[in-house]
Amino acid sequence: MSTPKFDESQLDVAVVGGSIAGCATAIRFSQMGYRVAIFDKKAMNDQSHKRLCTHFIQPHAWPQLAELGVSHLHEPAWSVATKAIFVTPGGVVETPGAYVPEQPDSWALNLERSVLDPALRTAAREQGVQYIDSTAVEKIEEDESGWTLDTSGESGAHRYRARLVVAADGRRSRLANELGNPTDSHPNERAALFGYFTGIKTRPDNSSVFIMNERDLACVYPLIDGRTQLVLFAEKSRVEDWHGSDGRLQQFLKYFDDLPEAPSMSDAVPEGGLLVSNDYPSLIRQPVLGSIPFVGDAALSLDPMSGVGCGFALLSADLLARAFADRSLAKADLADGLAEYRKQFEDVILPHAEGICGDSLVDKDEASRRRMFQTISGNQELSQKYLALTGRMLLPGEFQRALMRGMMTRGVARLKR
């Protein structure tokens, strides 16, 4: 067994995991003047990116891309500025303008991970972050002055010192397992099927259309260069007989073609086979364990139907950085910063998780859903709040209060008639 070599270059912040949350965290702490390194066990190149993703960046995350130095990704050459339209059992939920009228830049982005992931890695390196890929963190130990990280990789075994370690190592977080951060798992009763196509004529305003069909959700996302991503979140029993790659693809396209609100699939040309996930429960962990903060999917990885993976990765990194904006990494400040991050995570992100986990269950109360969406679609102000809720720009409690008022008003109006 080789003896680890001690690396004399001390780090301020060691980020374990180099995807969206890891890069965003590293960039923000480097901007504050800290010496930061990212450790990622995978070998990374310009083609390295996550594939199982809707690529739908919710509007709450739009400003964070500029803060990370990748504002060019807002441009039409890289992404499609978009907004959700919901076709529901009670009517169409659609509003003019941005998600929030008072915020004209509150648009979503259809930004593919093949573009976003390499751009963030490049931005991290340009900011001065050490991006150490093909390197696994095998062991971490804490003492009075910080952390020791033992790593192994293509160049052998190395040891690093850091004052703060951030867990950004994804849904299957090794640090969570090693440190004992418990995972709260919530079932997801839908399968997810993702496909990329050319030849589909989407809406001229570049809206992303979400069609609720019974308890399924069919999604149409316009991408750059006239391409389209189709995603279906369907009750597992509906798709269990879709066998074989060719048969599954044909059934998938027929499903969309049978939806009156979806564009025609007659000229759809697949770019490849479908990506399929049959088991993707929502996983939630503590945002802070001891003196280690967890960000991105390492903290919570929710049903992809909610479209919050990228946005919550960016948001958790932002919340952590803001918690340390006026604090040092000295022991007392470190404890206060972690406490602030935990509070903000619980106040800003977790309220959405409860509703998302509830939506992952396939219940059958269609009458109640129809009444709810009739109320929403028939009220412009409530429609705007629903769009803001789904864009994660409004907390669920505020929307629920507005919905209850709207349903009571609608009920009174019916009685008067």
> pLDDT (tens digit, 0 to 9) for every residue of the chain, 417 residues total?
444 454 446 899 999 999 999 999 999 999 999 999 999 999 988 788 888 889 999 999 989 999 999 999 999 999 999 999 999 999 999 999 999 988 888 999 999 999 999 999 999 999 999 999 999 999 999 999 899 999 999 888 999 999 999 999 999 999 999 999 999 999 999 999 999 999 999 999 999 999 999 999 999 999 999 999 999 999 999 999 998 888 999 999 999 999 999 999 999 999 999 999 999 999 999 999 999 999 999 999 999 999 999 999 999 999 999 999 999 999 999 999 999 999 999 999 999 999 999 999 988 688 899 999 999 999 999 999 999 999 999 999 999 999 999 988 876 556 455
Residues in Cβ contact with 256 at an 8 Å cutoff, skipping those fewer than 6 apart = 218, 220, 230, 232, 262, 263, 265
Per-residue burial over 33-43, b = 16 or more CB atoms within 10 Å of its CB, e = otherwise: ebbbbbbbbee
Instruction: Copy the structure tokens of residue 357.
Output: 């986990």
Give me the domains of the chain, ranges plus CATH numbers. 5-51+115-186+281-359 (3.50.50.60), 190-277 (3.30.9.100), 366-416 (no CATH)
Residues in Cβ contact with 290 at an 8 Å cutoff, skipping those fewer than 6 apart = 142, 179
Residues in Cβ contact with 212 at an 8 Å cutoff, skipping those fewer than 6 apart = 86, 87, 88, 89, 373
In single-letter form, the type of residue at position 1 comes to M
- Tokens 């992931």, residue? 117
DSSP 104-144: TT--EEE--HHHHHHHHHHHHHHHT-EEE-SEEEEEEEEET
Tell me the per-residue pLDDT of 73-111, one tens digit each, with 9 for 90 and over.
Answer: 999 999 999 999 999 999 999 999 999 988 888 999 999
Instruction: Copy the structure tokens of residue 411.
Output: 């009920």
Instruction: Copy the structure tokens of residue 1.
Output: 């067994």
Global pTM reads 0.94
pLDDT (0 to 100) of residue 45: 82
3-state secondary structure of 74: helix
Q: Contact, 118 vs 48, CB < 8 A? A: yes
